[in-house]
Amino acid sequence: MIYSYYPGCTLKDRAKEMDKYARASAAALGIELREIPEWQCCGAVYPQASDEIASRLSAVRALMNTEEGKLVTMCSACHHVIKRTNYDWNRDADFRMKATNYMKPEVPYDGSTQVLHFLEVIRDEIGFEELKKKVVNPLTGRKIGAFYGCMVLRPGKELAFDDPENPQIIEDFIRALGAEPVKYPYRNECCGAYVALENKNCAETQVDRALNSAIANGCEELITACPLCMYNLVENATRHKLPVRYFTELLAEALGVKEG
Partner 1 sequence: MENHVQMLTETALRISGVNPQKCMKCGKCSGTCPSYDAMEYHPHQFVAMVEKGQIEKLMESDSIYMCLSCMACVERCPRGVEPGKLVEAVRLMKIRQQDQNRKNGNDIAAFADENVPQQLLMAAMRKYRK
Applying CB under 8 A, the residues found at the interface with partner 1 are: 8-10, 13-15, 41, 43-52, 55, 75, 77, 150-151, 153-156, 164-165, 189-190, 192-199, 202, 205-206, 226-228, 230-231, 234-235
Please check whether residue 218 is in contact with residue 244, taking contact to mean a CB–CB distance below 8 angstroms: no
Q: Please state the closest distance from residue 197 (CB atom) to partner 1, in A.
A: 5
Q: Please state the closest distance from residue 83 (CB atom) to partner 1, in A.
A: 13
Q: Of 68 and 208, which CB lies nearer to partner 1 in the complex structure?
A: 208
Peptide bond into 181 cis (omega under 30): no
Q: Cα(60)–Cα(96) distance, rounded to whole angstroms?
A: 10
Q: Which residues have a Cβ under 8 Å from the Cβ of 211 and sit 6 or more positions away? A: 233, 237, 239, 240, 241, 242
Q: Please state the closest distance from residue 4 (CB atom) to partner 1, in A.
A: 21
Q: Which residues have a Cβ under 8 Å from the Cβ of 194 and sit 6 or more positions away? A: 44, 45, 228
First to last CA, the chain: 23
Q: Of 14 and 69, which CB lies nearer to partner 1 in the complex structure?
A: 14
Q: Of 110 and 241, which CB lies nearer to partner 1 in the complex structure?
A: 241
Q: Please state the closest distance from residue 216 (CB atom) to partner 1, in A.
A: 18
Q: Please state the closest distance from residue 93 (CB atom) to partner 1, in A.
A: 14
What's the chain's length in residues?
260
How many Å separate Cα 127 from the centre of its chain? 18
Q: Of 191 and 257, which CB lies nearer to partner 1 in the complex structure?
A: 191
Q: Please state the closest distance from residue 136 (CB atom) to partner 1, in A.
A: 31
Phi-psi region of 127 (alpha: psi -120 to 50; beta: other; left: phi over 0): left
Q: Of 138 and 156, which CB lies nearer to partner 1 in the complex structure?
A: 156
